[in-house]
Chains A and B, each alone.
Chain A
Amino acid sequence: MSKKVLIIEDDKFLRDLLGKKLSSLGFDTVLAVDGEEGLEKIKTEKPDIVLLDLILPGINGFEVLEQAKKDPSVNEIPIIILSNLGQSEDIEKGLSLGAKDFLVKAHFTPQEIVKKLQVFLS
């Protein structure tokens, strides 16, 4: 069965690019455009893994992460932060809130992001 990836990303182009890449590699992709939708889809879709942006309209990525980790029905789902923030404090905060990894978008190619996903999916 193909693995389900939830992409929470407000930039349409980035969301589509990544969605396309993942679909072409046989992943089942679910997209969310903001924090609220993302949090809801974590709960309703129960993805195998989440790619989470931080700067989002409405509730931001940190809050999504925090709330997801508080909910026992979804707190086991690995969440990887994929953001263009990337200062030490942001990384520290993300990891301490329970993110599996912190990837700076501009520093990773889609292929490299998939590789990271596979590490946490296997």
Chain B
Amino acid sequence: MENLNQEIEKKEKELRKIRLAFLNILEDTQDAKDWAVEEKNKTMAVINNFTDGLLVIDHENKIELVSPTIEKLFKEKKENILGKSIFKINFKKIKLKPLIEILKKKKEVYRKEIELGEGILLEMTTAYFDFGKRKGILVVLHDISKDKIIERMKTEFVSIAAHQLRTPLSAIKWSLRMILDGDVGSINEDQRDLLEKTYTSNERMIGLINDLLNVTRIEEGKFLYKPEKMQMEGIVVNVIQDSEDVIKMKNVSVKFEKSKKLLPPVVIDEEKMSLAIHNLLDNALKYTPEKGKIAISLEEKDNEIVFKIKDTGVGIPEDQKERIFTKFFRGSNVIKMETEGSGLGLYTTKNIIDSHKGKIWFESEENKGTTFYFSIPV
């Protein structure tokens, strides 16, 4: 009997221990559950308050998660989106086709611009995930409709302003020219000298406005207007010819070394390519002292046409090389030289080369010279 009692007591103790252990486990589970719920709430709070639209599509192409921003972007209630196949869904107010086309390619995209209807412009980013059992795609949609409107207004403004500026400048140009040409009577040498200088300043202003207009066009994305298959050589020859007066005035030798064999034609926009080459030559001329040398060459290399322009000019300071292609940038050494310049030439040139799917680079040493290269795929 005593044994039995002892045994029972022992068991009871054990049971108490087990109970405690269970309670502990239960508590841990509850904690874990609470934690999971809290995490979920946190994630949902992030998703619900995310300014970009978030969409999760599962491995069966069903839409699994929709953030409130998506409802706004798609102009549809959550209930009409959730659980449906992304490939079969049809909305009244927007066209999902561009988005679906991208998903069909099964490749991740980063900030790809898509238009889901009149003036509805989005940037789409996708990320594929695979957590073993759970596979799918996360789609992030960033609304850029407003940005686009503002950008367009900005470029339109600059464009109109530039056209308006040209009118008074034309008037100044025409009247100065007529005075200088003696159309309104003779002028003395001092007057002529002064007026010639005024005329040159005015021409500079007209040139500056042209640069600004070109930059605006680049930013409008309308820059490549007429790509055609043609030889680069003729363009280079023409650009050099157009600068003949400046070349003579600067007393700098400009040599164009033509390729020995006939180069294959490339697809280029003649006007823009001329501008790109003109800007490079113009810089070389501006920043190369008298009696300096400029050598230009064209050659074919690895299915590319490589243009090279080497000068014996002032060079680009080492610490500024990174910024050379940025808008309005001018080297500290050339600002001191007081040569005019807008800081738009290389920016424009780089954009032109980029839009031809080409590359541009340079080598430079201060007070020795600079070589600019660009290549265009054949």
Residues of chain A whose beta carbon lies under 8 Å from any beta carbon of chain B: 11, 13-14, 17-18, 20-21, 24, 55, 84-85, 87-89, 104-107, 109-111
Contacts and interface: CB of A to CB of B under 8 A. Distances in A.
* 5 nearest CB pairs, A to B: A84-B166, A105-B170, A88-B225, A109-B177, A106-B166
A66 to B, nearest CB: 21
B225 A106 contact: no
Interface of B: 159, 163, 166-167, 169-171, 173-175, 177-178, 181, 183, 206, 209, 213, 217, 222, 225-226, 271
B171 A111 contact: no
Contacts of B213: 87
A105 B80 CA distance: 59
A111 B163 contact: no
Given A88-B271, A106-B173, A21 B178 contact: yes
A21 B163 CA distance: 24
B206 A107 contact: yes
26 contacts: A14-B167, A14-B170, A14-B174, A17-B171, A17-B178, A20-B183, A21-B174, A21-B178, A84-B166, A84-B167, A84-B170, A87-B159, A87-B217, A88-B225, A88-B271, A89-B222, A105-B167, A106-B166, A106-B169, A106-B173, A107-B206, A109-B173, A109-B181, A110-B177, A111-B177, A111-B181
A61 to B, nearest CB: 13
Given A21-B183, A106-B170, 18 more contacts: A11-B167, A11-B171, A13-B171, A13-B175, A17-B174, A17-B178, A20-B178, A21-B174, A84-B163, A84-B166, A87-B213, A88-B225, A104-B166, A105-B170, A106-B166, A109-B174, A110-B174, A110-B183
Contacts of A20: 178, 183
A97 B171 CA distance: 27
Contacts of A104: 166
A20 B174 CA distance: 11
Contacts of A85: 163
A interface, over-half SS: helix
B183 A18 contact: no
Contact of A106 (B159, B183, B206): B206
A52 B175 CA distance: 19
A118 to B, nearest CB: 16
A20 to B, nearest CB: 8
A55 B160 CA distance: 11
Contacts of A13: 171, 175
Contacts of B173: 106, 109
B62 to A, nearest CB: 46
B163 A18 contact: no
Contacts of B169: 106
Contacts of B178: 17, 20-21, 110
A89 B159 CA distance: 13
B158 to A, nearest CB: 12
B80 to A, nearest CB: 42
Contact of A88 (B163, B171, B226): B226
B356 to A, nearest CB: 16
A17 B177 CA distance: 11
**Residue among B159, B166, B209, B222 with max Cβ neighbours from chain A (10 Å):** B166
A104 B173 CA distance: 12
A65 B226 CA distance: 24
Contacts of A14: 167, 170-171, 174
Contact of B175 (A17, A88, A111): A17
A17 B168 CA distance: 12
A106 B168 CA distance: 9
**Residue among A84, A107, A111 with max Cβ neighbours from chain B (10 Å):** A84
Contacts of A21: 174, 178, 183
Contacts of B159: 87
A110 B178 CA distance: 7
Contacts of A110: 174, 177-178, 183
B206 A18 contact: no
Contacts of A17: 171, 174-175, 178
A84 B175 CA distance: 17
Contacts of A106: 166, 169-170, 173, 206, 209
Nearest to B180: A109
Contacts of A55: 163
A13 to B, nearest CB: 5
Nearest to A55: B163
